[in-house]
Amino acid sequence: MTASPTTLTILALALLAAALLALLAAVATGLLARADGASAPAALLRAGAAFGATLTVAAALLALVVGALT
């Protein structure tokens, strides 16, 4: 089954939105960890974990939606 250019564009935009959401969660987590007194490396580790977890959940939900629509 071939996908139309419109479908691929919407999928690319959804992936971009998921990545931006994950980046926003990582920045917020890093800033909150730093404000709580964590060292810079510890705050970066927490931010990285938040980014990975958020991106994983967003990608899984996107895959679920795409699977339901096809």
Q: Can you give the pLDDT at residue 1?
A: 56
- List C-alpha distances in Å: 64 to 38, 42, 58, 59, 67: 36, 33, 10, 9, 5
Q: What is the pLDDT of residues 17-52, one digit of tens each?
A: 999 999 999 999 999 999 999 999 999 999 999 999
**Cβ burial, residue 59 (10 Å; 0-12/13-18/19+):** middle
